[in-house]
Amino acid sequence: MKCWICGEEATTGEHLLKAASLRALFTTVSQTRPIFYNSERKRNKRLQSIDSKYLKSKSLCARCNSSRTQAADRAFDILMSYLEGLPSKVLAQSSVRMNRLFPYCTRAQSVQLHLYFVKLFGCLVREGEVPIDLGDFSAAICSGKPHPDIYVAIGAMDRAIAGGSGTAGLSDMHCDFYKDGKPAFVAWFMHMGDVCIQVMLAAAGEHRDGLINSWHPSRNKRLLLREFPKE
Ligand SMILES: [Zn+2]
């Protein structure tokens, strides 16, 4: 497989659910204390290690997975440590200013946070063989500029859906395409413990419910946290 960002040979596995966040959530994962990975296709898959192949996507080269996206990974770690410290009631309805999350280089760090989701989105598209062109995704990452159509919504996970706070998972990707095959609206969720993150691709002019109170680094200086509706 070729790296979808630069076209070189893909050699490394990107963690679909970030190892640092999983480690914070599940202090020790082992044969006797496995974690359960939930997705629509793999229900309660038992994992014995955070390095399990089920949590990795092999669609990036070493450089794109490390130095090129290191700042993005760090920005996401900062967000997750902030969110993991919040009580779930606060997680369901509050907000945080980006300059509180990232006191230095706020704008640049906000873009990096956004690019982390662009990277994960691209890996999921490639991994799932979803027919979405990744040209704009790789251009955003290579130029360090935001993808104009990718939005993120963050909030509290409904425990009834998540199966308790000790779980983590990725949803399948829900896609709406135009007749010409281009994506109109694509959405997927990830959850780690009580934190739920919805990542969306919405073509210009699409007004979808999921976009309400969502975050894009060029539009919002504040991240609104919300409760996700019961499905
Ligand atoms: Zn690459």
Q: How many domains does the chain have?
A: 1
> What is the rounded average pLDDT of the residues 148-174?
76
Three-class SS state of 227: strand
User: Is residue 5 in a domain?
Assistant: no
- The DSSP bridge partners found for residue 123 are none
User: Is residue 46 in a domain?
Assistant: yes
- CA 115 to centroid of ligand 1, rounded, Å: 15
User: Is residue 222 in a domain?
Assistant: yes
Three-class SS state of 135: helix
> What is the rounded average pLDDT of the residues 168-189?
86
Q: How far is CA 169 from CA 17, 25, 64, 194, in A?
A: 8, 12, 24, 11
Report the alpha-carbon distance of residue 19 to residue 81 in Å, rounded. 13
- CA 129 to centroid of ligand 1, rounded, Å: 18
User: Is residue 83 in a domain?
Assistant: yes
User: Is residue 4 in a domain?
Assistant: no
Q: Which domain holds residue 58?
A: 12-227
> How does pLDDT run across 184-220, given as a tens digit for each residue?
999 988 878 788 899 999 999 999 988 988 999 999 9
Residue 197 and residue 154 in contact, taking contact as beta carbons nearer than 8 Å: yes
- CA 175 to centroid of ligand 1, rounded, Å: 26
Per-residue pLDDT, 124: 84
Identify residues whose C-beta is under 5 A from ligand 1, the ion.
Answer: 3, 5-6, 8, 61, 64
Average pLDDT value for the chain: 82
Kindly provide the b/e burial profile for residues 19-45, where b requires at least 16 CB atoms within 10 angstroms of the residue's own CB: eebbeebbeebeeeeebbbbbeeeeeb
- Which amino acid does the sequence have at 75? A
User: Is residue 203 in a domain?
Assistant: yes
User: Is residue 3 in a domain?
Assistant: no
What pLDDT band is residue 129 in, cutting at 50, 70 and 90? Answer: confident
* More confident: 71 or 36: 71
